[in-house]
Amino acid sequence: METLGVGLIGAGRIGRLHAENLVRHIQGAELLWVADVVEEAAAKLSQELGIPKATADYREVLSDPEVDAVLICTSTDTHAEIIRAAAAAKKHIFCEKPLALDLAEIDSALDAVKEAGVILQVGFHRRFDPHFRRLKELIVEGAIGRPWLLKITSYDPAPPPIAYIRVSGGIFLDMTIHDFDMARFLLGEVEEVFAAGSVLVDPEIGAAGDVDTAVVTLRFESGALGVITNCRKASYGHDQRIEVLGEKGGLFAKNPLPHTTVLADQGGYRSAPLHYFFVERYREAYIAEMEAFVAAVREGKEPPVTGLDGKIPVAMGYAAKRSFLEKRPVKLSEITR
Strand order of the β-sheet with 53-55 is: 53-55, 29-35, 4-9, 69-72, 92-96, 120-123
239-271: pLDDT as tens digits: 999 999 999 999 999 999 999 999 999 999 999
The boundaries of every CATH 3.40.50.720 domain in the chain are 4-118
Element (H, E) at 217: strand 213-220
Residue 154 bridge partners (DSSP) = 230, 240
Confidence bin at 176 (pLDDT 50/70/90): very high
Q: For residue 102, with 0-12 CB atoms within 10 Å meaning exposed, 13-18 middle and 19 or more buried, which class applies? A: middle
Find the helix or strand (DSSP H, E) in which 307 lies: helix 307-326
CATH architecture of 4-118: 3-Layer(aba) Sandwich (3.40)
Specify the amino acid at residue 104. Answer: A
Instruction: Pinpoint the residues of the chain covered by CATH 3.30.360.10.
Output: 127-277+313-334
- Partnered with residue 196 across adjacent β-strands are 215
Q: What is the pLDDT of residue 116?
A: 98
First and final C-alpha spacing in the chain: 39
CATH superfamily of domain region 127-277+313-334? Dihydrodipicolinate Reductase; domain 2 (3.30.360.10)
pLDDT digits (tens, 9 = 90+) for 54-98: 999 999 999 999 999 999 999 999 999 999 999 999 999 999 999
98: Cβ contacts below 8 Å, ≥ 6 apart:
76, 79, 169, 173, 174, 177, 310, 313, 314, 317
